């Protein structure tokens, strides 16, 4: 596998950070300087700053029902960060994020190889939410949410049309929404663009992983079947 993938798979750092370390001359393969894009075998010895990096650890996959107020960051200098809240004994990181005011399902892992595959919107991995807005919505709202809503993208400083979504009515103010993107505050911004304010937002499913009866603030390991199906969906898109 590529050297940055190998380093990431050990949990040492992300692929991008691995590339930076390689470019800075801090990585060697069998005592020879590594180059970005080089291939590495299991028999090779990889060092960073002269220290052998550990073998790839056993992969960990957790499902966590995030409470409102917990921040999806690994930065432990930030109050109410998800890592300190969970207190898992090994290094893990969230796959994507839920904003502070959103609750529900978030996955955490030490498997850096799958993170980008899940997060890239072009892979069309579906996520399902329960949404409550501040007033009754109409058919025009439903149609707009299903076909795409034009929202402002602060990163590119331009408007973006969201991808089509699936909406299922619960009552006149609540609905289930399935999206395949992960734009910042996407659902809140979609509703706002249509003249509605989100009162509550909860994610209940990521691909084949469902929140089910997992209590707020509690995590569980993914089952072998869940992991197998998750990996199949990622690699057979």
- Which are the catalytic amino acids? 99
Query: Cα–Cα distance between 11 and 77 in angstroms, integer?
Result: 20
Residue 117: both structure tokens together: 């595959």
Find the helix or strand (DSSP H, E) in which 202 lies.
Answer: strand 198-206
Query: Cα–Cα distance between 113 and 92 in angstroms, integer?
Result: 13
Compute the residue count for the chain: 237
Residue 101: how many other CB atoms lie within 10 Å: 12
Residue 201: how many other CB atoms lie within 10 Å: 22
């Amino acid at each position: 596998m590529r050297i940055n993938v190998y380093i990431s798979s050990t949990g040492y750092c992300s692929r991008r950070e691995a590339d930076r370390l390689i470019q800075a001359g801090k990585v060697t393969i069998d005592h020879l300087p590594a180059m970005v894009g080089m291939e590495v075998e299991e028999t090779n010895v990889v060092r960073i700053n002269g220290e052998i990096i550990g073998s790839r650890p056993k992969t960990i996959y957790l499902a966590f029902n995030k409470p409102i107020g917990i921040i999806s960051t690994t930065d432990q200098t930030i109050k109410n960060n998800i890592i300190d809240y969970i207190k898992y004994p090994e290094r893990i990181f969230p796959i994507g994020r839920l904003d502070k005011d959103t609750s529900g399902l978030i996955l955490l892992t030490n498997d850096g190889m799958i993170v980008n595959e899940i997060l890239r919107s072009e892979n069309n991995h579906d996520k399902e939410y329960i949404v409550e807005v501040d007033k009754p919505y109409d058919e025009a709202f439903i149609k707009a949410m299903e076909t795409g809503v034009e929202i402002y993208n602060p990163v590119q400083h331009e408007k973006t049309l969201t991808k089509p979504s699936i909406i299922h009515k619960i009552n006149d103010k609540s609905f289930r929404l399935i999206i395949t993107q992960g734009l910042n505050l996407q659902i809140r911004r979609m509703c706002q663009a249509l003249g509605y304010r989100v009162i509550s937002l909860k994610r209940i499913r990521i691909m084949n992983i469902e929140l089910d009866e997992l209590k707020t603030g509690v995590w569980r390991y993914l089952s072998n079947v869940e992991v197998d199906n998750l990996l199949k969906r990622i690699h057979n898109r």
